[in-house]
């Protein structure tokens, strides 16, 4: 018994796959198969470059704090974020939460939010600015950070 599959593409090429009842290897017209492989490779290019595109992401951060030889606390965070590109500026927003655990103390949970943007000023010089707030039950910590980076 033979089973034939016919695939007609938009460009009128036909791929014929024939399998026998003894499960011999499929006979595929080589020229058409190579064209399909090239088309699939071309379709895969956007998937490889997708991480460079804007969109949602998950971010985690763990901080271990201390002074000199004395350990003070651990802070763990998880955030959902979204970034996009507007011309040369790449703004982003993040929202999440976490827990701060002081050495020998009880954990304090918090909600964190951050907004910021980065910009490439020249081929080697970039700048960034961000505002971050961390809200505990009884207090609100915040910070503004501005920085530059020069690549050699």
Extended beta strands in the chain, E state: 3-8, 14-19, 55-67, 70-83, 89-102, 108-120, 125-135, 140-150
List the structure tokens of 4. 């034939």
What does the angle CA 131 – CA 132 – CA 138 come to, to the nearest 5 degrees? 135
Alpha helices in the chain (DSSP H): 30-49
Quote the CA–CA distance of 106 and 100 in Å, as a whole number.
9
pLDDT tens for residues 64-114?
999 999 999 999 999 999 999 999 999 999 999 999 999 988 999 999 999
pLDDT (tens digit per residue) in 116-135: 999 999 999 999 999 999 99
The predicted model scores a pTM of: 0.61
Other Cβ atoms less than 10 A from the Cβ of 63: the count is: 11
d(CA 74, CA 99): 8
């Amino acid at each position: 018994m033979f089973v034939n599959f016919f695939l007609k593409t938009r460009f009128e090429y036909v791929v014929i796959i024939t399998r026998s009842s003894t499960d011999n290897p499929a006979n595929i017209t080589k020229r058409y198969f190579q064209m399909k492989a090239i088309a699939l490779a071309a379709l895969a290019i956007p998937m490889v470059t997708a991480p460079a595109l804007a969109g949602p992401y998950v971010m985690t951060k763990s901080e271990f704090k201390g002074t000199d030889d004395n350990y003070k606390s651990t802070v763990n965070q998880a955030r959902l974020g979204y970034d996009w590109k507007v011309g040369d500026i790449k703004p982003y927003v993040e929202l999440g939460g976490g827990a701060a655990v002081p050495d020998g103390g009880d954990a304090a949970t918090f909600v964190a939010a951050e907004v910021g943007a980065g910009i490439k000023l020249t081929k080697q010089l970039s700048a960034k600015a961000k505002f971050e707030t961390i809200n505990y039950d009884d207090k609100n910590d915040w910070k503004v950070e501005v920085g530059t980076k020069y690549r050699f």
